[in-house]
Every structure is written in structure tokens, then in C-alpha cells.
Amino acid sequence: MAQQETDQGYESGTSVAEPGDGFVVDTEDAAARELAHRERGTSRPITVVGNPVLHKECRDVTEFDDELARLIDDMFASQHTAEGVGLAANQIGVDLKVFVYDCPDDDGVRHVGAVCNPVLEELPPSERHLDDSNEGCLSVPTAYAALARPDYAVVRGQDAQGKPIRVAGTGYFARCLQHETDHLYGYLYIDRLSKRDRKDALRQMAENTPRYEVVPNS
């Protein structure tokens, strides 16, 4: 996911999950962990809308090995180069259900981690408070559009070693978790827009030049 176009605050009607509730702690040593990943990794160009790998469901991760670890390192390096806050594997052309994130929540707390085989948990109606802030995507470079999403999200999946994990996010981080999970099931955020807003986002992309390397569509 691209960084916000403008700084915005968030109000959340949902309490933040605590580690004792079975959620992964992804805020400790966030800067050091992110730096270690990207220093081991190699930045790769970003695939953009129209590339077939972005428009189909990715394969489940079944091998939690050194190859997966290298992929995650490369994803952190690629995310940093593109100045993003979240990146799915198919955004660098890899057909696997894994995403990484380096994203603040609505309180400005930095979250860093990786999730394999993510599934969004369905929220009860009492926890579905919609936020219609702008959203952007590294695979739709330079384009932004308002999109309503719940301001609280829970994703369950596995970590890089295959251990079951749950990740909870509020505000901007909740948007990131939903955005990246969508990617791995073949959806870009523009697929959730009206036809008019989607057309406008694609126009923005066509009229501007990204600051990072992209894979041209044939």
C-alpha cells in the first residue's frame, strides 16, 4: 500500500487488541527488524495494474524455508525503495500468499511484520466503523481515491516459520491489513471503487510518473 497522500487523523470506536488476547506483538524493535530485513534483501521493481499476477488469487505458502525468508527480505527492501507501508508478494511478481508491512496505526505506533496465508476475520456489526480516507497503491502509482473500509481489522495467518498468528490494526494500519490481504486474492483497491472513481484513479496514474521502478505491462 502507498503512503497516505496527506496526513490524516483517525478516530476508532474499537479497542486495540492486546498481546494477551493471542495477537502477535509487532511493535517491539520495529525499526531494527525492518532494517535487518531490507539490508539482507534486494529491491525489485513493482508490478502494476494490468499485470496478470495481480488479478488472480495467489497460491498458498506451503514451504516455510530459506527461500521464503529471502522473499520476505526482498519484499521489505522493495517496499522501502517504493516508500510504501505494505507490499504483497504478487506486487513483485511472485504468486504466493504473503505480505509485509511497515505501517503506523491511528496512534502513530509503528507496526512491522509479515503474514503468510492471511484471512480477514469477519467483524461483528458493533465493531464495523467505516473510515472513508484516501487510499493509494504501489501497483497503481501516483493515484489516490477515497474508499470506505472498517477502521479496525484482524488478520489471521502464519509467520515466516509457519506458526499461526493473528494481527490486529486500527485506522491506517487496519486499512493496510485489508488492502494487502485483498491483493493476495486478486483484488486491487480500485476494484472496490465506482466505475467513475476507478476511471479517475487510472487517469491519475497515466498522467504521472512513479518515483520507483515498475514492470512495464506487455
Cβ contacts of residue 6 below 8 Å, gap of 6+?
134
Q: Angle, nearest 10°, between helix axes 66-81 and 30-40?
A: 100
Partnered with residue 194 across adjacent β-strands are none
The residue annotated as part of the active site, out of 57, 63, 180, 213, is 180
Nearest to 102 by CA among 120, 77, 121, 119: 77
* 162 DSSP 8-state letter: S
* 57 is an active site residue: no
Collapsing DSSP states into helix, strand and coil, what is residue 145? Answer: strand
Collapsing DSSP states into helix, strand and coil, what is residue 147? Answer: coil
Burial (CB count within 10 angstroms: exposed 0-12, middle 13-18, buried 19+), residue 188: buried
Burial (CB count within 10 angstroms: exposed 0-12, middle 13-18, buried 19+), residue 179: buried
Catalytically active residues are 180
